[in-house]
Every structure is written in C-alpha cells, then in structure tokens.
C-alpha cells in the first residue's frame, strides 16, 4: 500500500548550499564574511506548510543543511507527528550541520535523518568549498555521525559506497566505516 509523501528539494528546501553561501548558520561564514546564509521561509511559513501537509496525512521530506534552517523545520515536525493512518516517519534531508540538541530532539521525535557523508569525502578530495567558506567551528560540526548513532536516530538512504568514501574525512575519528555499517544495521533493527 502506498502512503502519501511530499517534499525533497524545490518547494521544500529550507535553505541553500554551503558553496553558494546560502546554507543557514547562526554565525557568519568565513568567506564571504557578510553572510550567515539564508532561510527560504519564515518560522511561521514552515509551521504552516508542515501543518497543512500533516493534516492531509503526508509524510514530509524537507531539505535543511544549516542549523538555523534545521531549527524551525524540526520544531514544526516535532509538534506534528504523522497520524496512525500513515506509518511513515517525517524526514530531514541532508541534516548536515545540526547542533547536538537538534540531534537529540530528532531522536525523541523519531524523525528520519538522511545525511550524505559522501559529500564530505568529495569536498575533501576535489572541490573544497566547505573548508574555504566555513569557519573551523562550522566545518567541524558537519554530519556528526557519532552523535547521531549514540542517540540511535533512524537513518535512511545511507549508501555503502558513501560510507566507505567518507572514511576518515568524517568528523568522527573513532567511527570507522565498518563500525558505521554495523551500527547502521543494528540501529535499523531497533528503531524502524
């Protein structure tokens, strides 16, 4: 049986990207220094979008990279779990620079997180816009896989090749790719 879903990128993008300077952070970028990114919707607009979709029983899947964009989306999703008619969980795509509090709240709300650690590896090997644009603190907060696994957040769409490509470039030196796969398997058994 198919359940109603909506979102992803496009109309459900809460912010932009690091390389464009539009991923929404609380502090300014290193380059350019005059921006901290952009939230594409106000808190009230996000709350209203989520409320309208939730009343109709839709699973929501929304893009949010920076912590300032994650916050209003997470708040709206926390306040509106899916109805019993739809067993799917709401999702936050990317969830790339969350605070520890945001990770914990996502766990408590059973929201599925869809990080993409392969981008970390690609950035470190080829393009390098994250190191150029972000402060050291912002850069080090990228995809905190150790925190996510410690909180047993349900993860989805984490591809094996992304895990192995990300390897040691992830900001969790004690979390090797093999440990990550094992924890992913066990977290899915416990939570989903």
- Select the more confidently predicted residue: 140 or 26: 26
Give me the pLDDT at residue 152, please. Answer: 58
| Three-state DSSP class for residue 39 | coil
Superfamily holding 5-191: Metal-dependent hydrolases (3.20.20.140)
> Taking the domains of the chain in order of start, what are their residue ranges?
5-191
Average pLDDT over residues 97-124: 84
Model pTM score: 0.78
Q: Residue 59 pairs with which residues in a beta bridge?
A: 5
Closest-CA residue to 166 (of 146, 185, 151): 146
pLDDT of 128 over the 50 cut: yes
Strands 59-64 and 5-13: parallel
Distances in whole angstroms, Cα of residue 29 to Cα of each of 10, 52, 133: 24, 34, 6
């Amino acid at each position: 049986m198919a359940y109603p879903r909506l979102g992803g990128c496009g109309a459900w993008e809460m912010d932009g990207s690091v390389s464009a300077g539009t991923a929404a952070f609380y502090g300014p970028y290193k380059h350019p220094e005059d921006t901290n990114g952009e939230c594409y919707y106000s808190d009230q607009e996000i709350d209203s979008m989520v409320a309208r979709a939730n009343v109709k029983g839709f699973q929501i899947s929304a893009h949010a990279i920076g912590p300032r964009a994650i916050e209003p989306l997470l708040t709206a999703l926390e306040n509106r779990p899916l109805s019993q008619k739809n067993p799917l969980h709401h999702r936050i795509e990317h969830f790339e620079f969350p605070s520890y509090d945001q990770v914990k709240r996502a766990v408590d709300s059973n929201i599925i997180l869809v990080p993409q650690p392969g981008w970390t590896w690609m950035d470190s090997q080829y393009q390098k816009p994250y190191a150029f644009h972000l402060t050291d603190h912002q850069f080090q907060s990228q995809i905190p896989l150790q925190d996510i696994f410690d909180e047993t957040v349900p993860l989805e769409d984490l591809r094996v090749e992304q895990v192995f490509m990300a390897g040691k470039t992830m900001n969790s030196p004690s979390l090797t790719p093999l440990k990550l796969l094992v924890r992913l398997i066990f977290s899915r058994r416990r939570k989903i």
